[in-house]
Amino acid sequence: LIVLFSAYSYNRMDSTEWKTVTDGIDATSSLFSSIQQTVEESLKDVRSLDASDIEEKMRQMNSLLLRMELDSDGSLATKRTIGDLRSSFRELEHRVVKHTGPLIYPIDSLEEPSPKDRLAKTMDSIEQQGIGWKNAKEQLAHTEAIGEDILKNLSRQRETVILAGSIANDSNTLLNKGNRIVQTMRRRIARNKTFWWCSIWLT
């Protein structure tokens, strides 16, 4: 019943609506053909080819195809027309890529991403973010390890400084003892000299 009702509604469509849809597709098709002709004329002279202009025109043609598909009434004739235009567009696309190179006009940019492609792109983005967070975490751990090594080195240097200070104090103590011993020896030498001269004088 649903199929019969749809067919009945389809056949009962107002002639004005049919004409509007047909005229819209015909006008879009004419504009598409006009742009296609200018692109083909540009491809004849490769030396003076403007890659950015060709790329923009190809994008316009692709937009016109998408518009015709959206405005399509679903009839077999309209589908055939859009299919023929799409085929000619693909053929022209390969010629453009051949002359300008894929970097100037990527083939993938002509197609609207499907839900599957958008999901895959989203998953890739999430995966890249996860990799970025993982790298940041590893970098943080590496920085933390370097900080711990620096603290350990500073601790060892502090112990070395304390030990050096202790050695310096011991050296001062030994130096003072040495000075006292030298002074004692000088006094003894002076007394011995005095005793020796006195002994000589008395004899």
89-116 pLDDT, tens digit each: 888 888 877 766 653 434 444 455 566 6
In sequence order, what DSSP letters do the residues of 147-185 get, joined into one string?
A: HHHHHHHHHHHHHHHHHHHHHHHHHHHHHHHHHHHHHHH
Residue 99 pLDDT: 67
Q: How far apart are CA 41 and CA 24, in angstroms?
A: 26
Q: How far apart are CA 159 and CA 149, in angstroms?
A: 15
Judge whether 62 and 110 are in contact, CB under 8 Å. Answer: yes
Quick one: the chain helix, strand, coil %, rounded to 5? Answer: 90, 0, 10
- Tell me the pLDDT tens digit for each residue of 26-39: 788 888 888 888 88
Residue 54's pLDDT band (boundaries 50, 70, 90)? confident
Residue 203 pLDDT: 66
- Tell me the pLDDT tens digit for each residue of 5-25: 333 343 444 433 434 344 567
Output the six-digit token pair for 191. Answer: 């007394």
Q: Where are the domains of the chain?
A: 2-112, 115-203
Which residue, among 61, 81, 111, has the nearest Cα to 21 in the 3D structure?
81
